[in-house]
Amino acid sequence: MVIFFALSVCAVLVLAALVNCTVGLLTDQRANVSKALLTTGVSLAPNSAPLNARLAEAEMVDDDRDILNVEQRVQRAVNSAPWDYRYRLLLATVKEAGGDRAAAERSLEEALALAPNYTEVHWRLANLLLREGKLARAVVEFRAAISSNVGLLPGTLDLLWRVSSGNLATVRAITPRNPNSQLLLAQFLLKQSRASDAITVFSGIDRNALAGLPEISTFINSLMSEGRLEEARGLWVGLVAGIYAQPGRPLPAVWNGGFESDIAKNLTQFDWVITRNEYAVPVIDASSSHGGSRSLRIDFTGRDTARLDGQVKQTLIVRPGTRYRLECFVKTERLETPEGPRIVVSDNGSSTEIASSDPVRAGSNDWRLVAIDFTSPPNARAVIVTIKRIPKYSYDNPTRGTIWLDDFVLTEISK
């Protein structure tokens, strides 16, 4: 009797092991199992939750599916494993396919009670609520899903923007308060031609948290391309220096005119752009200055037909049709040149030259004031200040020596 009992127990264990192995093979998502095999598996293990669920999934894709039969099969899986939220998600899908969205919502809420921290559950419930027209509740679930997976934010912004007919409060409600998410929202609003709202969102982000993010340069560039130059510069100055325009205290028209601040590497839109070429090497010099402690030095390399065009420049914001004076100080040392470089003001849009200084005098000369009066074009919102030397002929003699420039100031000339 003992031997018989032991053999019986072993047989039961072997059978259970075979059934478990079969269930495991049939429910392995990596395996392509036919519906016929799944049906056979269910007949061997009718109360297996994974088998019933996978067979229900296979039946759901049939054109001639029996939705009530599929629902019963999923309900069997739910009853067999009431602690597993996944089967309640599947039941919600079947319920909605059968036209019972209220039952689908209840099933998703039950899944949420079992897995309150799972992104998928919040996401599924949010989308169902949206399809039911329950926008306020959907926003809560979207926010919960996005808080754990910010990659869902761009698509959700686009979806809710369309559903809410461009309601700013709705898209702000689903956006987490962290800097990256707020920056995504600002960029999204800018693409929707809501520049003012985008600027408001962007301005509310802590500038220290934005430091180093490449997206901030993209945002500034987008504002500029939309023609919002004044706002772009205001945000830019706030980012690089933490200062903002105030009544009676406007921002300097020329930024870093004395070259006292280091140039931001990733935010150059309204700062000096300084590059070298084969004819000239511009650098910031701390050994000579007119005011402060630094200046811009340009060393000419002594090559013939020297050209300097765009290696030193800055974008300045102006008012259309307004009279201005640009001033700076220039110093030279052993400058040998057929014609010295000039300070040039050009239209930002067309690159047309508006005004220029006389050529810098050759030789060695101490600091002297250079002033240029000009009127901004009628439609101009910005001008470019640059140091230029353009040869008049296809060949001219080499340019050697050094020039320094310092203390650039732009002032509006009152009528």
Pair 278, 364 in one domain: yes
Q: Which residue from 387, 411, 412 is spatially nearest to 399, judged by alpha carbons?
A: 387
Pair 238, 288 in one domain: no
Pair 205, 324 in one domain: no
Tens of pLDDT, residue by residue, the chain (415 residues): 777 666 655 554 444 444 454 444 445 455 555 666 666 666 666 777 877 777 777 777 777 778 888 888 889 889 988 999 999 999 999 999 989 999 999 999 999 999 999 999 999 999 999 999 999 999 999 999 999 999 999 999 999 999 999 999 999 999 999 988 999 999 999 999 999 999 999 988 888 888 778 889 999 999 999 889 999 999 999 888 887 766 667 788 999 999 999 988 888 899 999 999 999 999 999 999 999 999 999 999 999 999 999 999 999 999 999 999 999 999 999 999 999 999 999 999 888 999 999 999 999 999 999 999 999 999 889 999 999 999 988 899 999 999 999 999 999 998 6
Domain with 204, as residue range(s), is 191-249
Pair 320, 203 in one domain: no
Pair 227, 295 in one domain: no
292 occurs within a structural domain: yes
Residue with token string 């319920």: 95
Task: Kindly report the backbone phi and psi dihedral angles of residue 203, in degrees, each rounded to the nearest multiple of 5, phi listed first.
Answer: -65, -25
DSSP state of 37: H
* CATH code for the domain in which residue 291 is found: 2.60.120.260
Domain count, the chain: 2
Pair 313, 376 in one domain: yes
- Among 234, 249, 264, identify where a domain stops: 249
348 occurs within a structural domain: yes
Q: Which residues contact 70 (CB under 8 A, 6 or more apart)?
A: 56, 59, 60, 94
Pair 279, 242 in one domain: no
Strand partners, 330: 368, 405
50 occurs within a structural domain: no
Task: Kindly report the backbone phi and psi dihedral angles of residue 350, in degrees, each rounded to the nearest multiple of 5, phi listed first.
Answer: -105, -10
Pair 280, 383 in one domain: yes
Contact between 404 and 296 (Cβ < 8 Å):
yes
Pair 229, 329 in one domain: no
234 occurs within a structural domain: yes
Pair 405, 350 in one domain: yes
Q: The pTM is what?
A: 0.77
CA distance to 166, 182, 381, per residue, from 233 (Å): 27, 20, 12
357 occurs within a structural domain: yes
158 occurs within a structural domain: no
Pair 352, 225 in one domain: no
260 occurs within a structural domain: no
Pair 239, 341 in one domain: no
263 occurs within a structural domain: no
